[in-house]
Amino acid sequence: MRHLRSSVGQATLSPLAAALLAATGFAACAPAARAAEGIFDEMRFGATVPVAEGKHQESGLFPSFIVFFDPFGADNAGTLAEKILLPRVHAGASVATSSNGVNQVYGGFSWDADLTERFFVEAGVGATLHDGDLDGGDSDGPELGCRLLFREYAAAGYRFDANWNLSATIEHNSHANLCDGPNGGLTRAGLMLGYKF
C-alpha cells in the first residue's frame, strides 16, 4: 500500500488513515458551525487581485476572509427605509502574498438587495487599517498617506441555496485627501464564497 509522507517530521499516513483523519476533521466542524449560527450571520472566504498595475502599485493574490453580523435585524427588514436603517456589520482581513502587497484588517456596514430569488447586490462602507507604506520612499508598493483609510466595496452575487453563495467584488481604499501625504489608494477585485447561517 502506498503511503503519503507528512510534511512534518518523518511520519507517514496510509490513504485510509488520511481519509479517516479528514472525516474526523469535517465531523468536528459541524458543532462549530452550529455554534457560529448564533453569532455570525455569514462568513466568506476568497481572494482578490489588484486592479491597477505599475510603479507604486500592488501585485499578487490577496486571500481574504470576512464575517457578517446582523445586530440590527437587517434580514427582517421589509421596506427600503428599514433596509437602509438596518445594515449588517462586517469585519475582515486580507493577506498580501507579494513583497509590495498590503495586509489589511477592516470593518464597517453593509447593505444588500435581492434582484431575484438567487441574484443579489451588496454595498458597504467602513475603514481599514493597513501595514503599507505611507510616503513611498524607496518602496515599489503603493503610497497610502496614512495608516487608517476609508474602505468601500460593491458586490454582485448568486445564491446556490439557502446557505451557499458566490459573489464578485470590487473594493477601494483611500484617505479621500483627509491626511497629508500621497493618496495612492488600493483597488482590488475578486471572488468570495459565502456561507449564510
Greater model confidence, 162 or 24: 162
CATH number for the domain including 142?
2.40.160.20
Same domain, 32 and 106: no
* pLDDT for res 135: 85
Same domain, 3 and 46: no
In the 3-class helix/strand/coil scheme, how is the chain assigned residue by residue? CCCEECCCCCCEECHHHHHHHHHHHHHHHHHHHHHHCCCCCEEEEEEEEECCCCCCCCCCCEEEEEEEECCCCHHHCCCHHHHHHCCEEEEEEECCCCCCCCCEEEEEEEEEEECCCCEEEEEEEEEEEECCCCCCCCCCCCCCCCCEEEEEEEEEEEECCCCEEEEEEEEEEECCCCCCCCCCCEEEEEEEEEEEC
Same domain, 142 and 77: yes
pLDDT tens digits, one per residue of 108-149: 999 999 999 999 999 999 999 999 988 866 677 889 999 999
Same domain, 151 and 62: yes
- Domain holding 78, by residue range, is 40-196
Mean pLDDT across the stretch 4-25? 39
Same domain, 28 and 95: no
pLDDT tens digits, one per residue of 71-92: 999 989 988 899 899 999 999 9
Is a pLDDT exceeding 60 seen at residue 68?
Answer: yes
* pLDDT for res 60: 92
Same domain, 19 and 58: no
Is a pLDDT exceeding 80 seen at residue 15?
Answer: no
* pLDDT for res 55: 73
Same domain, 88 and 122: yes
Same domain, 84 and 156: yes
Distance in angstroms (rounded) separating the CA atoms of residues 128 and 115 = 29
Domain count, the chain: 2
* pLDDT for res 36: 56
Is a pLDDT exceeding 70 seen at residue 181?
Answer: yes
* pLDDT for res 9: 36
Same domain, 18 and 82: no
- The conformational region for residue 60 under phi > 0 = left, psi -120 to 50 = alpha, else beta, is left
* pLDDT for res 26: 39
State the average pLDDT for the chain: 84
Same domain, 32 and 48: no
